Amino acid sequence: MQDSFAFIIHPLNPKRDVSRKYPALGKLPAWLIEFLSIFYPPVLVSEIEGVQSVENGRTLKGWFVACPLTPNMMLRLPTRLVYRKIVQTGKLAEKLGAQILGLGAFTSVVGDGGKTIAKSLNIPVTTGDSYTVAQAAHAIREAAVLLEKPLAESTVAIVGATGAIGSVCAQLLARDCGKILLIGRRLEKLNEVATAVRQQGGKNVQVSANIDDIAQAHFIITVTSAVDAIIEPQHLRQGAVVCDVSRPRDVSKQVSEQRPDVLVIEGGMVEIPGPVIFNFDFGFPPKMAYACMAETMALALDKNYVSFTLGKDIKLSQVQTIDTIAKRHGFRLGGFRSFERAVTSDKIAFVKAAHLSNQNAVSAVPYLDPNNLESVNL
Question: What tens-digit pLDDT sequence spans the chain (378 residues)?
Answer: 789 999 999 987 777 777 777 777 777 888 787 787 788 899 999 999 999 999 999 999 999 999 999 888 888 889 999 999 999 999 999 999 999 999 998 888 888 889 999 999 999 999 999 999 999 999 999 999 999 999 999 999 999 999 888 999 999 999 999 999 999 988 999 999 999 999 999 999 999 999 999 999 999 999 887 878 899 999 999 999 999 988 778 899 999 899 999 999 987 679 999 999 999 988 788 999 999 999 999 999 999 999 999 998 899 999 999 999 999 999 999 888 888 777 888 988 999 888 777 664 444 333 233 334 333 334
Cβ proximity of 308 and 226 under 8 Å: no
CA angle 70-72-75, nearest 5°? 110
Going 204 to 263 to 158 to 293, the CA torsion angle's sign is negative
Q: Give the pairing type, strands 337-338 and 341-342.
A: antiparallel
Residue 85 C-alpha from the chain's centroid: 22
What residue type is assigned to position 136 of the chain?
Answer: A
Which pLDDT score is estimated for 358? 67
Burial class of 122 by CB neighbour count within 10 A (0 to 12, 13 to 18, 19+): exposed
Q: Enumerate the H helices of the chain as residue ranges.
A: 14-21, 30-37, 71-76, 79-96, 115-119, 129-146, 164-172, 187-199, 253-258, 291-301, 316-329, 345-356, 370-374
Q: Of 242, 234, 287, which Cα lies nearest the Cα of 267? A: 242
Length of the chain: 378
3-class DSSP state of 103: strand
Q: For residue 271, give the amino acid letter.
A: E
For residues 342 and 287, the answer to whether their CB atoms sit within 8 Å is: no
Tell me, what's the pLDDT at 103?
95
Q: Which pLDDT belongs to residue 334?
A: 87
How far apart, in whole angstroms, are the C-alpha atoms of residue 244 and residue 139? Answer: 10
Q: Is residue 306 classed as helix, strand or coil in its secondary structure?
A: coil
Phi, psi of 141 (to 5 degrees): -65, -40
* Whole-number Å distance between alpha carbons of 5 and 260: 40
Respond yes or no on whether the N-terminal peptide bond of residue 370 is cis (omega within 30° of 0): no
Task: Compute the distance between CA of residue 319 and CA of residue 129 in angstroms, rounded to an integer.
Answer: 8
Q: pTM of the prediction?
A: 0.83
Alpha-carbon dihedral sign for residues 303, 105, 333, 148: negative
CA dihedral 142, 147, 152, 154 (to 10 degrees): -120
Q: Residue 326: what pLDDT?
A: 98
The full set of domains in the chain, from first to last, is: 4-130+271-333 (no CATH), 133-268+336-374 (3.40.50.720)
Q: Using CA atoms in the order 145, 52, 293, 121, what is the torsion angle rounded to 10 degrees?
A: -150
- What pLDDT score was predicted for residue 109? 81
At 268 the pLDDT is: 61
Maximum distance among all alpha carbons in the chain?
Answer: 60
Spatial distance between the Cα atoms of 100 and 123, rounded to a whole number of angstroms: 6
Write the CB contacts of 70 (distance below 8 Å, at least 6 apart in sequence): 10, 11, 12, 13, 14, 33, 34, 37
- pLDDT for the residue 357: 75
Alpha-carbon distance of 118 to 325, in angstroms, equals 22
How far separated are the first and last CA of the chain, in Å rounded? Answer: 43
Measured between alpha carbons, how far is 105 from 67 in angstroms, rounded to an integer?
A: 11
